């Protein structure tokens, strides 16, 4: 048994002795039993392809990865991922016992010469620790893993709101030399929120290549609470497919952080055909709008139930506030007459 093999076992025993708080080193705080969508930033250890990354993390559809990284839908599966490039990985998050972890995926199959510490550090770019994998996979001795064994990889996540707002929690790998302020600017998140969420006192507590919880602001939407995707959250610079893939929704600061949804033009996941996406009583499809006089009417996506797409009409005034720039003919005529009468009276008095 080699030195490299013994060390993980010793660390495991030490941490188990010190207490359960050290056995889930990267778990994010999650004070509920909710489910949601999570994101992690995977740093490619060497040159690879999107298809290989998709397979490693068990993401069912390539378009989910394309959306999380705001890549064109036409991007091929064999597109190159450079060494050191960060790829955002979307997954389902489940909360319990005060923390959140990925649900069902990824699952890693042990290969010849694998050891847990290498799997955690090199294969999954330190998004988990070997202690996390051992605990999730019910491994009592981390020195002993077998070729062909399936290991659960518990990616860190959370479903908690932050400062009263719903957010998408993103596991960001800290770059060497980073500061809390730099990360704050990069993701448009308050430095105070980063410090509180990650229990950091200052920049000196940041560790390179260790994931921290970054709460990404999500777009507001008109999705109803009784829709099957009522919990859908989309963060800035990403897009997702919903309603059995019939609808594509995107989020960006350019659209005032309001969810923009439209027909996806792809086949639904349930093998049927996409239902009507017309707003009732109009000829507008979701995502379309029309302007009449000073009013813009928009057909918005409001969720789905079974085979039905829910829609909602929104009206918005396009005229300047207070009617600035418009002339009221009636008011103009009255003011003119009053002014003319005063001038006549002044002239008569002078004479």
- The pTM score is 0.81
Per-residue confidence (pLDDT) for residue 5, from 0 to 100: 44
User: Quick one: residue 11, left, alpha or beta (phi over 0 = left, psi -120 to 50 = alpha)?
Assistant: alpha
Q: By C-alpha distance, which of 51, 54, 143 is closest to 91?
A: 54
* DSSP letter for each residue of 243-296: TTTTEEEEE-GGGTTB-EEEE--S--TTSS-----BPTTSSPBTT-EEEETTEE
* Number of Cα atoms under 13 Å in the Cβ half of residue 151: 33
Per-residue confidence (pLDDT) for residue 316, from 0 to 100: 82
**Cα 270 from chain centroid?**
24
Lookup: tokens for 148 = 């062909």
Per-residue confidence (pLDDT) for residue 9, from 0 to 100: 46
**Cα 41 from chain centroid?**
12
* Number of Cα atoms under 13 Å in the Cβ half of residue 93: 31
Length of the chain: 351
Point out which residues pair with 91 in neighbouring strands: 38
Low-confidence ranges of the chain (pLDDT < 70): 1-27, 321-351
Domain residue extents for the chain: 26-106+155-217, 238-317
Question: Residues 154-203: pLDDT tens digits?
Answer: 999 999 999 999 999 999 999 999 999 999 999 999 999 999 999 999 98
Per-residue confidence (pLDDT) for residue 349, from 0 to 100: 62
Per-residue confidence (pLDDT) for residue 25, from 0 to 100: 44
């Amino acid at each position: 048994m080699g030195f490299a093999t013994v060390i993980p076992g010793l660390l495991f025993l030490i941490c188990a002795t010190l207490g359960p708080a050290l056995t889930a080193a990267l778990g994010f705080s999650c004070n509920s039993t909710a489910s949601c969508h999570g994101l992690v930033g995977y740093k490619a250890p060497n040159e690879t392809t999107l298809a290989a990354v998709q397979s490693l993390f068990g993401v069912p559809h390539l378009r989910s990865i394309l959306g999380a990284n705001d890549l064109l839908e036409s991007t091929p599966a064999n597109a190159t991922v450079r060494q050191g490039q960060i790829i955002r990985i979307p997954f389902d998050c489940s909360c319990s016992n005060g923390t959140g972890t990925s649900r069902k995926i990824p699952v890693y199959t042990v290969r010849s010469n694998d050891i847990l510490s290498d799997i955690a550090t090199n294969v999954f770019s330190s998004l988990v620790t070997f202690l996390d994998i051992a605990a999730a996979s019910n491994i009592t001795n981390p020195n002993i893993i077998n070729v062909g064994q399936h290991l659960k990889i518990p990616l860190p996540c959370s479903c908690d709101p932050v400062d009263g707002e719903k957010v998408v929690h993103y596991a960001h790998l800290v770059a060497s030399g980073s500061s809390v302020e730099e990360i704050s600017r990069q993701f448009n998140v308050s430095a105070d929120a980063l410090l509180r969420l990650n229990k950091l006192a200052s920049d000196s507590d940041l560790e390179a290549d260790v994931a921290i919880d970054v709460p990404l602001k999500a777009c507001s939407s008109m999705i109803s609470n009784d829709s099957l995707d009522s919990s859908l959250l989309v963060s800035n610079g990403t897009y997702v497919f919903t309603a059995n893939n019939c609808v594509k929704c995107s989020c960006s600061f350019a659209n005032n952080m309001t969810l923009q949804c439209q027909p996806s033009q792809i086949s639904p996941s349930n093998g049927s055909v996409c239902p009507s996406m017309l707003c009732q009583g109009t000829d507008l499809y979701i995502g379309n709008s029309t302007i009449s006089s000073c009013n813009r009417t928009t057909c918005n996506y409001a969720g789905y139930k079974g085979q039905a797409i829910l829609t909602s009409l929104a009206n918005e005034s396009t005229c300047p506030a207070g009617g600035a720039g418009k002339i009221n003919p009636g008011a103009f005529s009255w003011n003119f007459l009053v002014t003319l009468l005063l001038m006549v009276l002044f002239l008569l008095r002078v004479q």
